[in-house]
């Protein structure tokens, strides 16, 4: 390093380099007058249409703000300096850092038995037949062994069904066996329950092992009960009582709720949000119905439904923003997943919007039938006799399962950086890949983006959120609050 000699001050122009090189970037028209230009780092610039053409042709950038923005967002780089590439490399490394934590979510489908008959459910059975619809203990032992072989140091063990609390003895066994075998991992437990089954024994157990409860709430009573059917009585009444019971016993933050939007739900965005607010929730996940089985038979109808869902989503979202602008914190979780990708250098750990896809890379499912599946949706397909994503039996061993043909077909189609229609999409950084969805809907895990509901939904919401971000500081501040809240 050289010591600087006393010198005359030089003007700003002296430090500018008029020429520039291009860094990798992608772009799309975000509205009728502007381009969204996204760099390899995931940072973006919004500039008048024509800006991309100008920089590709290396025209001098006379707009000083735009020139500085393009540099700061790593879209162009000055001619002489290459040190900036190290920073971008670190940005990309940071975004993919979660891959070092391979399969951190482990879903255990303890039973398909359920006390509900929800019309959108693909899997559950109302039956007393424990033999054929409960996970066998020997299979459970194998599954736990597999889970503990995951390279991830932080693991979530999630119990699903059916209704896993109908197999409470098995659940207890699973938690206690896991803890007795675990040597080096931090394990969080989650029970996904319909919220209508609870007693003191369950509560004591949840308290002892610090277990989180995730339940389902579809909206106000008429809507919830229309979607989620109990054999007798109102599911809404039972689940609201259950939520209260769990909250009192475990603490308010130990129970969360998920909603699924049926066709009927689409008519009631505000009512659904009000139901969440009234029941003391500060967040909601606006989630479309999983389009398996029913939707497979009529892709056109599904396409139409994506549009309908988007209309519902925007209406609900605008309403949520109003609530926040009036001073009440209320977060939409799907938006938060995307906003975290847009506003921070980090990834979200939400498994359905990742590249490589969350299937296998972030999640493994141990089904009641003793088989390991690539994702929750993969085991739903199996209920329709489609075993494309069945990796093998729990007794097969970690290596065999993760190198099976089924696993390879997931991996092959799971990088949106390498998928047609995604690789050149400006917002792919904020999106993900979903080979299981495309297999189910389009019959091809690779997928065809122009007709994909996954693509349509995500692109539309991502573009909408970016427009919202740019619209006002107060909305931007709300978004920052969402992604910084726990």
Q: Is residue 429 a contact residue for other proteins (CB under 8 A)?
A: no
**Going along 75-170, which residue ranges are E strands?**
76-78, 105-109, 154-160
State whether residue 173 is helix, strand or coil: helix
Q: Is residue 78 a contact residue for other proteins (CB under 8 A)?
A: yes
Q: Is residue 327 a contact residue for other proteins (CB under 8 A)?
A: no
Tell me whether residue 87 or residue 418 sits nearer to other proteins (CB atom).
87
Question: CA dist 193 to 165, 242, 293, 330, 364, Å?
Answer: 7, 10, 23, 23, 19
Tell me whether residue 9 or residue 32 sits nearer to other proteins (CB atom).
9
Q: Is residue 329 a contact residue for other proteins (CB under 8 A)?
A: no
Least distance from C-beta 40 to other proteins, angstroms? 13
Binding test (CB under 8 A) with other proteins, winner from 201, 278, 424, 481: 481
Q: Is residue 79 a contact residue for other proteins (CB under 8 A)?
A: no
- Judged by CB under 8 A, the chain residues 14 through 53 that form the site for other proteins are 14-16, 41, 43
Please identify, among the stretches 87-95, 261-269, 323-331, 349-357, the one whose residues bind other proteins according to the rule CB under 8 A.
87-95
CB atoms within 10 A of CB 76: 23
Q: Residue 445 forms beta bridges with which residues?
A: none
Is residue 391 reached through a cis peptide bond, with omega within 30 degrees of 0 on the bond before it? no
Q: Is residue 91 a contact residue for other proteins (CB under 8 A)?
A: yes
Least distance from C-beta 476 to other proteins, angstroms? 9
CA distance 163 to 372: 19
Least distance from C-beta 244 to other proteins, angstroms? 32
The per-residue DSSP string of 378-429 comes to HHHHHTTT--TTEEEEGGG-HHHHHTSHHHHHHHHT--GGGSTTTTT-TTGG
Is residue 162 reached through a cis peptide bond, with omega within 30 degrees of 0 on the bond before it? yes
Q: Is residue 3 a contact residue for other proteins (CB under 8 A)?
A: yes
Tell me whether residue 83 or residue 151 sits nearer to other proteins (CB atom).
83
State whether residue 57 is helix, strand or coil: coil
Total number of residues binding other proteins (CB under 8 A)?
39
Contacts of residue 283, defined as CB under 8 A and 6 or more positions apart, other chains included, come to 256, 276, 330, 331, 332, 333, 336
For 341, list phi and psi in degrees, rounded to 5.
-70, -35
Binding test (CB under 8 A) with other proteins, winner from 21, 34, 49, 84: 84
Residue 472 DSSP code = -
CA distance 307 to 90: 38
Tell me whether residue 69 or residue 139 sits nearer to other proteins (CB atom).
69
User: Binding mask 441-480 vs other proteins (x if CB under 8 A, - otherwise)?
Assistant: --------------------------------x---x--x
Tell me whether residue 68 or residue 400 sits nearer to other proteins (CB atom).
68
Please identify, among the stretches 246-254, 294-302, 338-346, 442-450, the one whose residues bind other proteins according to the rule CB under 8 A.
338-346
Q: Which of 306, 234, 212, 318 is nearest to 269 (CA)?
A: 318
Q: Is residue 90 a contact residue for other proteins (CB under 8 A)?
A: yes
Bridge-based pairing state of the strands 76-78 and 44-48: unpaired
Q: Is residue 128 a contact residue for other proteins (CB under 8 A)?
A: no
State whether residue 269 is helix, strand or coil: helix
Q: Is residue 7 a contact residue for other proteins (CB under 8 A)?
A: yes
Least distance from C-beta 389 to other proteins, angstroms? 35
Q: Is residue 57 a contact residue for other proteins (CB under 8 A)?
A: no
Q: Is residue 486 a contact residue for other proteins (CB under 8 A)?
A: no
Q: Is residue 345 a contact residue for other proteins (CB under 8 A)?
A: yes
The residues that touch other proteins, with contacts defined as CB under 8 A, are 1-7, 9-12, 14-16, 41, 43, 67-69, 71-72, 78, 80-81, 83-84, 86-87, 90-91, 343-346, 473, 477, 480-481, 484
């Amino acid at each position: 390093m050289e010591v600087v000699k006393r010198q005359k001050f030089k003007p700003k122009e002296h430090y500018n380099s008029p020429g520039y090189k291009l860094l990798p970037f992608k772009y799309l028209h975000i509205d009728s007058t502007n381009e969204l230009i996204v760099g390899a780092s995931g940072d973006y610039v919004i500039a008048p249409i024509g800006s991309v053409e100008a920089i590709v042709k290396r025209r001098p950038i006379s707009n000083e703000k735009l020139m500085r923005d393009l540099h700061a967002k790593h879209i162009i780089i000055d001619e002489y300096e290459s040190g900036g590439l190290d920073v971008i490399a670190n940005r990309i490394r940071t975004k993919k850092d979660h891959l070092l934590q391979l399969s951190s979510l482990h879903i255990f489908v303890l039973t398909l038995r359920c006390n509900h008959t929800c019309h959108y459910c693909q899997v559950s059975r109302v039956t007393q037949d424990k033999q054929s619809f409960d996970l066998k203990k020997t299979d459970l032992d194998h599954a736990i062994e597999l889970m503990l072989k995951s390279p991830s140091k932080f693991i979530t063990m999630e119990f699903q069904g059916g209704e896993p609390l109908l197999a409470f003895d098995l659940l207890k066994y699973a938690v206690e066996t896991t803890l007795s075998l675990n040597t080096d991992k931090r394990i969080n437990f989650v029970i996904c329950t319909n919220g209508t089954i609870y007693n003191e024994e369950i509560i004591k157990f949840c308290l002892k092992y610090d277990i989180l409860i995730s339940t389902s709430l579809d909206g106000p009573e008429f809507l919830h009960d229309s979607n989620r059917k109990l054999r007798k009585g109102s599911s809404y009444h039972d689940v609201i009582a259950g939520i209260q019971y769990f909250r009192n016993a475990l603490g308010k933050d130990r129970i969360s709720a998920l909603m699924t939007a049926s066709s009927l739900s689409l008519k009631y965005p505000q009512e659904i949000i009000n139901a969440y607010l009234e029941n003391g929730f500060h967040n909601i996940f606006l989630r479309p119905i999983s389009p398996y089985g029913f939707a497979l038979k009529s892709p056109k109808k599904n396409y139409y439904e994506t549009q309908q869902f988007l209309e519902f989503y925007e209406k609900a979202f605008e309403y949520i923003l109003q609530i926040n602008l009036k001073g009440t914190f209320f977060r939409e979780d799907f938006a938060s997943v995307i906003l975290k990708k847009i506003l921070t250098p980090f990834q979200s750990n939400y498994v359905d919007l990742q590249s490589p896809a969350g299937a296998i890379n972030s999640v493994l499912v141990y089904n009641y039938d003793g088989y390991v599946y690539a994702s929750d949706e993969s085991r739903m397909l199996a209920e329709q006799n489609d075993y494309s994503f069945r990796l093998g039996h729990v007794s097969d061993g970690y290596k065999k399962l993760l190198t099976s043909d089924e696993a390879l077909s997931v991996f092959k189609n799971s990088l949106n950086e390498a998928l047609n229609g995604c690789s050149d999409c400006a917002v792919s950084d904020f999106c993900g890949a979903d080979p299981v969805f495309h297999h189910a809907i389009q019959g091809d895990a690779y997928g065809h983006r122009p007709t994909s509901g996954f693509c349509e939904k995500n692109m539309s919401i991502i573009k909408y959120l970016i427009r919202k971000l740019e619209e006002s500081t107060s909305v931007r501040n709300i978004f920052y609050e969402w992604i910084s809240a726990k």
